[in-house]
């Protein structure tokens, strides 16, 4: 029997033995209930074995099951909700299905049953300040099914941790700058003809995502054209005109070019309007938003500090790297040779700023497992 079932069965023993003692059939016998985990092919979670008590009373298991019908409603939670939802007899085995109310309290509050048949806290967990990150979308496309899953997981953890008494700060980092953002900006500049989401009655994040797709189509067309002219695919992808334009736009953005920054602000505002609609539909909220456009600067400063201290190295082209081979990880680029940052750069800045903002005990990132390596690298760099 799994651990929570063992605890539950032990807590049920006392009220059930008391019930046995009250019945005239067992007045001179000390009946010990026998419990087991319900077999998978039957409905329920906990099974009471009836053969022993029925034999001691000289009755059939079916009659004992009928007699017990008046007992199960006496088992309640603290708020009066029933503990038992279903009771099913299978031969000499009485399979009990626990109530939905029990599961809500069990998994969110760490409750177990008291000897009186009520729920009480098993232990008092140590209260912590926890920063919980989830969602964290890019502003070049709409929230997709993976984001929905991530939001539901994050919000569920928030509710569970908060119900346990922890102070939980809900955050997201909005990835609102970088080469991928410039790609959708460049495509709108080239193909948008000044059209805005309201002009075509389209949700803002979907509208911007459309131009990101248009960029990719234009990029692939240029690559195929170059390959047809005899260039290798690798060279064609690296030298595609539209990619060079996007990189130039990113450099202009980092230099504060007014026209580029204004375009960036306008298109991001469209995306935020779309995100807000989705979050409202999901019932999702955050206590603080962080923006890559702000934290990447903090990350660049940390990288420069690490370079000055000899923690990082600069290659012959001017790119800055973190060497992690000594702990079984690959080298990680932190600043490109043109001085622009990468995703890891802003993660470094964001992590540092959050600790300064909240002084948290724990930080939880809600991410897909394909990002496990990224976070191993992040934590290793932070340790340096």
- Which pLDDT value is given to residue 338? 85
Fold of the domain spanning 130-383: Rossmann fold (3.40.50)
Euclidean distance between CA atoms 327 and 381, whole angstroms: 11
**Residue 12 burial class via C-beta count within 10 angstroms: exposed 0-12, middle 13-18, buried 19 and up:** buried
Euclidean distance between CA atoms 97 and 276, whole angstroms: 40
Of 239, 245, 183, 181, nearest to 214 by C-alpha is 183
Euclidean distance between CA atoms 222 and 242, whole angstroms: 8
For the chain, give every domain's residue range.
Answer: 3-121, 130-383
Q: Which residues pair with 94 in a beta bridge?
A: 48, 89
**Which pLDDT tens digit goes with each residue over 336-362?**
998 888 889 989 999 999 999 999 999
**Which pLDDT tens digit goes with each residue over 6-37?**
667 777 888 888 888 787 766 556 677 888 88
DSSP per position, 19-77: HHHHSGGGTT-----EEEEPPTTSS-SEEEE-HHHHHHHTS-HHHHHHHGGGTGGG-B-
**Residue 187 burial class via C-beta count within 10 angstroms: exposed 0-12, middle 13-18, buried 19 and up:** buried
Q: What are phi and psi of 252, to 5 degrees?
A: -65, -40
Q: What architecture is the 3-121 domain classified under in CATH?
A: 2-Layer Sandwich (3.30)
Euclidean distance between CA atoms 320 and 313, whole angstroms: 6
DSSP per position, 263-322: HHHHHHHHHHHHHHHHHHHHT---SEEEEHHHHHHHHHHHHHHHHHTTSSEE-TTS-EEE
Give yes or no for a contact between 102 and 72, defined as CB atoms under 8 angstroms apart: no
Taking the CA atoms of residue 40, residue 43, residue 48 and residue 51 in that order, the dihedral angle to the nearest 10 degrees is: -80
What token pair was written down for 188? Answer: 């709108």
Of 106, 181, 109, nearest to 138 by C-alpha is 181
- Which pLDDT value is given to residue 195? 98
What token pair was written down for 270? Answer: 């469209």
Q: What are phi and psi of 327, to 5 degrees?
A: -115, 20
* Residue carrying structure tokens 């569920």: 156
Other residues' Cβ atoms within 10 Å of the Cβ of residue 236: 20
CA distances from 183 to 208, 211, 225 (A): 10, 8, 20
Q: Which residues pair with 339 in a beta bridge?
A: none
Instruction: List the 129-133 sheet strands across, edge first.
Output: 288-291, 167-174, 129-133, 362-365
Confirm whether 3-121 and 130-383 share one CATH topology.
no
Other residues' Cβ atoms within 10 Å of the Cβ of residue 292: 25
- Which pLDDT value is given to residue 107? 63
Regions in the chain scoring below 50 on pLDDT: 1-2, 110-124
Euclidean distance between CA atoms 60 and 172, whole angstroms: 61
- Which pLDDT value is given to residue 26? 64
Give yes or no for a contact between 174 and 136, defined as CB atoms under 8 angstroms apart: yes
Global pTM value? 0.66
């Amino acid at each position: 029997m799994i651990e929570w079932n063992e605890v539950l069965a032990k807590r049920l023993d006392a009220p059930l033995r008391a019930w046995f003692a009250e019945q005239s059939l067992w007045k001179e016998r000390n009946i010990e209930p026998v419990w087991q985990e319900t077999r998978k092919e039957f409905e329920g979670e906990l099974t009471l074995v009836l053969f022993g008590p029925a034999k001691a009373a000289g009755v059939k298991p079916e009659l004992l099951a009928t007699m017990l019908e008046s007992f199960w409603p006496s088992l309640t939670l603290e708020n009066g909700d029933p503990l038992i939802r279903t009771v099913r007899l299978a031969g000499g085995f009485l399979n009990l299905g626990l109530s939905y109310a029990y599961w809500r309290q069990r998994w969110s509050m760490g409750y177990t049953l008291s000897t009186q048949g009520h729920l009480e806290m098993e232990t008092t967990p140590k209260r912590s300040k926890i920063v919980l990150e989830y969602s964290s979308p890019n502003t070049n496309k709409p929230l997709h099914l993976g984001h929905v899953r991530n939001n539901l997981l994050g919000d569920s953890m928030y509710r569970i941790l908060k119900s346990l008494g922890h102070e939980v700060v809900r955050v997201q980092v909005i990835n609102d700058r970088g080469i991928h953002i410039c790609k959708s900006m460049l495509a709108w500049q080239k193909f948008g003809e000044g059209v805005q989401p309201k002009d075509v009655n389209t949700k803002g994040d979907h509208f911007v995502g459309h131009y990101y797709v248009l960029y990719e189509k234009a990029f692939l067309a240029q690559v195929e054209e170059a390959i047809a002219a005899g260039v290798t695919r690798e060279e064609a992808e690296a030298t595609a005109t539209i990619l060079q334009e996007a990189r130039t736009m990113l450099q202009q953005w980092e230099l504060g070019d007014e026209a580029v920054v204004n375009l960036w602000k306008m298109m991001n505002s469209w995306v935020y309007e779309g995100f807000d609609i989705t979050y409202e539909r999901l019932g999702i909220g955050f206590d603080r938003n962080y923006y890559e456009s702000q934290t990447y600067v903090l990350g660049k400063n940390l990288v420069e500090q690490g370079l000055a201290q000899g923690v990082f190295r600069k290659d012959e082209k001017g790119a800055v790297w973190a060497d992690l081979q000594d702990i079984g990880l690959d080298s990680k680029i932190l600043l490109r040779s043109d001085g622009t940052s990468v995703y890891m750069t802003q993660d470094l800045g964001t992590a540092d700023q959050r600790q300064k903002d909240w002084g948290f005990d724990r930080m939880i990132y809600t991410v897909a497992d394909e990002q496990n390596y990224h976070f191993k690298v992040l934590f290793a760099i932070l340790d340096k």
